[in-house]
Structures are given as structure tokens and as C-alpha cells.
Amino acid sequence: MIVKYSLDTYQPHRNLLKVEMEVHPDKQETLLSIPNWSPGSYKIRDYSKSIHQVNFVQSKSGWHIEQIDLDTWKVFSKGETFKISYIVHGFEHTVRTNFFTSEFILVHPPATFLYPKDRLESEIELSWKNLSPFRYCYTGLKKKEGSKQTWKAKHFDEFFDCPILLTNEKHISFSTEGCNFDLVILGDLETKDKKKISKDLETIVQTQIKLMGGTENKYYLFVLDMTDNLYGGLEHLNCSINQFDPNGWSSPDNYRTLLELLSHEYFHHWNVKRIRPIALGPFDYQKPNLTKELWIAEGVTSFFDAYFLLLCELYSPQQYIAKLWKDIQELEESLGESWMSLEDSSFTAWTKYYNRPFDPNFSNTGISYYTKGAILSLGMHLYILKQTKGKKSLVDIMQALNKQYHQEKKRGFTKTEFFQTAKKATGLDLKLEFNPYISEPKRIPIENYLYLIGIERTPSKPKLETGFKVKEEKGRLIVSKILLTKSIKETDINIGDEWIGLDDKRVLPSNYKEILNQYGSGKKAELLLSRRGKILKRKIKFDSSPSTNELWIDEKVNGEKKELREIFLHLGQGSKSLKPSSKTKKTKSK
């Protein structure tokens, strides 16, 4: 059975797209649903809110359509072929939603297409009635043979995984390791800047393909949307949608952040789209697909995204070490490690991690499986290098998982199978060494693993700990975060309070740091606050927290530590597992 869709740009200036859908049912009644979430973005999104005017294109006597749930419509057509139309509103500018404008149209399939609820294995054809006023259509879908404006998919899992972009922006193309790439950059970048991004991106993907032993893709599409105040990415099987703020993007630090984003989403075309926890496919698009292994899906990817930049020499060793230190600090500044394990962070992502912008207490009770997962992966990588004398690494595990579970068994893996594969690939029982940092709310002693290669922390003077952070709003200091430290534990202070004074001093955005420098650990003071129009006085006793300035490379170490560090930082010849091969292993497509 083939389900057919036809799209019409309709009224892009009003952010509307028209969809027609043809179904050949095998029952009197057909249930049509819109997905509630998107793979890779683990939160219920309620896409049905943007679906309007679901009607028959041509109705017959006795036929009727009834919405029976927030995400489901019941179509009664007496078992006859029917065609419906509906309007989709798209004006939410993220990587996981629709955005329809007169400048470009980005179609996110899970937010756009109703599907027969019991027919996920159906073949799909998609055509455009009207592409005007756009010249180009980009998508990972394959063209139907002999057609210019009709695409096809083998089933809905493939169909929902292929965004569609209409634009007048011409792509930049490059080919490497048997795969053709298109890069489409939306935004006012100069041609030379676009070419620089393309050149560096080619280096990154070439390195990834070589280290992973090849890619099954013959084509891959990068969409880079350069829009103010946006950041994010969403991976797909042969495509990724990426968003980045163009303001100051060309500064060295920001540019590397952009490349990390693109590197991250591309590595997902192995890790998650092919190498995946068993719960992440096939999907139930109507309810959460829960897994405790997002630390593998996202954490391992977050380790490799920057590490590949180091291997490509887009990061210097010093810059990469600074990047590691920033991630370590981010995790250690949060108190969530004593509340939440990596597995808990993964499992509750739907209600906790993805809701952190609305949960002011998340930094005290939650952790990011991205950040802690990346630091755990770093520890694993260094531990494997040490125990195998540089002959094996985390790369070997990812290669083995790809071969055993994606290529051979064509399914995902369990946590037990992950560690079994790791042991087979490296000869090491990584579960024995690392499971406490995965299943328990326990801090990773990452300094112990960095010490294996002669990288240590530089101690510094303790810093004053207020227990709260502030942000500037219209010249005022507003409490933006509260940390459950000794300083603040017994103090009645809320997020949203305005901080007016400290003892007899007026605090302002321009002077509060200087005023705080006058206080030492153990010093008591009085806070003057404003809350809901009332002036409040609160007592505080300042504490201090141990601090370190940075990670530093001990240049005095020799022997094994120095050799392993050179392998890790790609300074010497490196091990076979970290040195890209000049030949790429060919793999068969499914």
C-alpha cells in the first residue's frame, strides 16, 4: 500500500502550508494521527495544535471525519480510497518544528504529516503542487524514478526522518569518501565565509568517515540556518538541521562552537541513527520512548564532536584542553550530581532535562546527560588508552557496535550488550570501572583519568561563594539562580528577587563584584531585597569553595604518560585506532 501526499506552499506569508493526503484503506474506518514528538528531541510537542481544517477533498454519501483525540482523527469511508486536505501553521523557529515564511520553508515531517496509525510500514510518495516562489527543494528523500517533483520513502520511519527545505539559496557541494554532500546556508554570509565553513566541514566529515570505517550514505544534506539568538541541531539519517547565531560567529571561539555543532550532528548519523539504544527504534510516535542510555546516544557524541576538531587540527591541544575544562566546570558547578544519576537523567529527559528552562531548581537537582556523558566518555577513552598501551580506544567500541548491532543484527543494543561489546573490542571490563558513575548519583573523578596522560588541575585561591547568581535587567540585579550551598541554605531568597544592597552599600550591575571582593569566607552580611513590591532584609554568611583556574599539561612527564598524551592529543603518530586510515572500508546499504 502507498500513502500519497501533495504539498502546496499555499500562503507562506501567513505561515501556512496545505497538505493533501490519499489513503487506500483496508477497513471501513481509518485512524489518522499526527506524531506527538520527534526522534532526537525527547519531549512531547503536541504537534496537533498546528493542524487545521481536516476535510475530504471530495466526499461521498455516508463518509465523515471526526477528531476523537487531540492527536487522532477517525475517517469513515466505507473502506474506499479517500483523499483529505488540511492546513498546517508553521511559525516556530526551531530544529524540531515547522517554519514557513516567504524567505524559506522548512518542513519538519513529524509536525506536518498525518499518518494511518496501523500502517507505519506503508510506502510513501510526496509531491509538490506548487514550489513557487522558491527555486530549490532540498531533502534526504529519494526522487521517484522519472519524476522531477515527486519523492518516495520506504516507510514512515524514513519519511519522518527527512526534513524538506524550500529556498532560493544555492547549495555548496563537496564529495569525500564515496559520499556527496550539500551544504545550504541560510543567512547573509559572504561567499568566502561559506566556502571556509564548507572546507572545514569537509575535513571533519572525512575524518569521521575514515575513523568509523566508512559510511552507508551516498548523499548527506547539511542545513545551516544562521539566525539571531538561535542555537541547536537535530540529526537525521542522511541530513541534519542546524541553527546558529550569526552575531560574532566568526570569532575563533564562536567559529569552533559552530564546527562542534556540525560535527556533533554528523556523528549522530552513526551514533543514534544506526548505533542506538534498543528503545530508540522502531518508534511509537504517540508516546515517550524511554531509555536510560541517552548518555551513550548524546554523551558519547558530545565527547567526539570536539575531539574530531582536535584530530582535524581545528583545535590546538591547548584550545582543546580549555574546552574540556569548561565542560568539567559546568558539571561541577551544579549540585545535581548528588541528586541524579546519568541513567536517571536519560530516563527523565522528557520531563526534566527538556523542561529545565522552566525549572529554576534544575541546576540543584539535575544533570545534563550531554555534559556528564561526554566527561564519562573522556574518562573511558583515557582509561582504555592506558590499559591497552594506546592500542585501543573508544573508537574501537563504536566501530564494533556499528558492525555487530546495526550491520549484522539490524537492531539496537541494551546496556549489558554495550559493555559486552566494549569488553570484546578492548579486552576490558568497563562496567566494573565506570558503572557507579552511570547508575548512581556519583561524581566522576575525571582528574584521575587525566592524570594518566599527565594533565592536571592548577590549584588557585578559594573563591567567595554567595550561593546565588544574578542577571542584569533594565539596570537592576535580578536573582537568576540559587545554588544550595552553605551560604544560602538557610536564607530566604527566591529567583526573581531584586538584589538592592549589601549591608549599607547599594549594589548595581557595575559594582557588585567589586563590593563582594571586600568580603571573605565566614563573613556575615545583610542582603537588601525587593520581592513583589516589598523590601526584605535577609542574613547571609559567605562561604568559600575550592577553585581551580584551568587544566595544565605537565611537560616534565616522560615515558608512558607522555606517549599516551601524544596519542590522545594527536601530537605523534598515534595508535591505529586514532589515526585515520588512507583506505575506507566499504559497507553495504540496508
The DSSP result for 454-492, as a single string, is TEEEEE---EEE-SEEEEEETTEEEEEEE---TTTTT--
pLDDT for the residue 580 = 46
Sequence-distant (6+) residues with CB within 8 A of 292 are 343, 344, 346, 347, 415
On the question of pLDDT at 546 being above 80, the answer is no
pLDDT of residue 588: 33
Tell me the pLDDT band of 215, cut-offs 50, 70 and 90: very high
Q: What is the pLDDT, as a whole number, of residue 335?
A: 83
End-to-end alpha carbon distance in the chain: 21
> How many residues would you count in the chain?
590
Average pLDDT over residues 18-26: 96
- Would the pLDDT of 460 be above 90? no
Q: List residues bridging with 337 in a β-sheet.
A: none
Question: What are 341-377's pLDDT values in tens digits?
Answer: 999 999 999 999 999 988 888 988 999 999 999 999 9
Name the phi and psi angles at 222, rounded to 5.
-100, 125
Q: Does the structure show a pLDDT above 90 at 552?
A: no
pLDDT value at 589 more than 60: no
Alpha-carbon distance of 293 to 567, in angstroms, equals 28
Q: Percent of the chain beyond pLDDT 70?
A: 95
Greatest mean pLDDT among 328-332, 334-338, 448-452, 582-586 lies in 448-452
Over 70: is that where the pLDDT of 487 sits?
Answer: no
Burial class (CB in 10 A: 0-12, 13-18, 19+), 258: buried
Mean residue pLDDT across the chain = 92
Q: What is the pLDDT of residues 123-180, one digit of tens each?
A: 999 999 888 899 999 999 999 998 888 999 999 999 999 999 999 999 999 999 999 9
Of residues 294 and 357, more confidence is placed in 294
Residue 66: C-alpha distances to residues 69, 77, 80, 153 (Å): 9, 12, 17, 28
325 C-beta neighbours (distance < 10 Å), count: 19
Specify the pLDDT at position 194: 96
Q: Where are the beta strands (DSSP E) in 262-331?
A: none
Q: What is the largest CA-CA distance in the chain?
A: 87
Residue 6 per-residue DSSP state? E
Burial 70-101 (b: 16+ CB within 10 A, else e): ebbbebbbeeeebebebbbebebebbbbbbbe
- pLDDT value for 548: 59
Name the pLDDT band for 109 (thresholds 50, 70, 90): very high
Q: What is the β-pairing status of strands 136-139 and 164-167?
A: antiparallel
3-state helix vs strand vs coil in the chain, percent to 5: 30, 30, 40
Query: Is residue 268 within 8 Å of residue 240, measured between CB atoms?
Result: yes
Rounded distance between C-alpha atoms, residue 119 and residue 122, angstroms: 5
Task: Say which amino acid occupies 59.
Answer: S
Label residue 28 by pLDDT band (50, 70, 90). very high
Q: Please report the domains of the chain, with CATH numbers, ordered by start residue.
A: 2-167 (2.60.40.3650), 270-460 (1.10.390.10), 469-545 (2.30.42.10)
Q: Look up residue 570 and give its three cell numbers.
A: 594527536
With cell 615515558, the residue in question is: 559
Please write the tens of the pLDDT for every residue from 431-446: 999 999 999 999 999 9
Residue 95's pLDDT is what?
98
Nearest Cα neighbor of 361 from 208, 477, 474, 468 is 468
pLDDT tens across 186-195, in order?
999 999 999 9
Contact 31, 117 (CB under 8 A): yes
**Spatial separation of the C-alpha atoms in residues 554 and 451, rounded to whole Å:** 9
Does the N-terminal peptide bond of residue 110 adopt cis geometry, omega within 30 degrees of 0? no
Name the residue type at position 83.
Answer: K
DSSP-assigned letters across all residues of 272-284: TTTB-BTTSSS--
pTM, 2 dp: 0.92
Mean pLDDT score, 205-221: 97
Kindly give, in sequence order, each residue whose CB lies less than 8 Å from that of residue 217, ignoring residues fewer than 6 positions away: 179, 237, 238, 269
Question: For residue range 60-85, what is the model confidence (pLDDT) as tens digits?
Answer: 999 999 999 999 999 999 999 999 99
Spatial neighbors of 579 by CB under 8 A, at least 6 apart, are 573
81 closest CA partner among 153, 4, 144: 4
Q: What is the DSSP letter of 195?
A: H
Residue 461: partners with Cβ closer than 8 Å, 6 or more residues away: 547
Phi, psi of 342 (to 5 degrees): -60, -40
Cβ atoms of 383 and 358 within 8 Å: the answer is: no
CB within 8 A of 484, min separation 6: which ones? 335, 364, 467
Q: Residue 321: how many CB atoms within 10 A of its CB?
A: 19
CB neighbours of 265 closer than 8 A, spacing ≥ 6?
Answer: 233, 234, 235, 240, 242
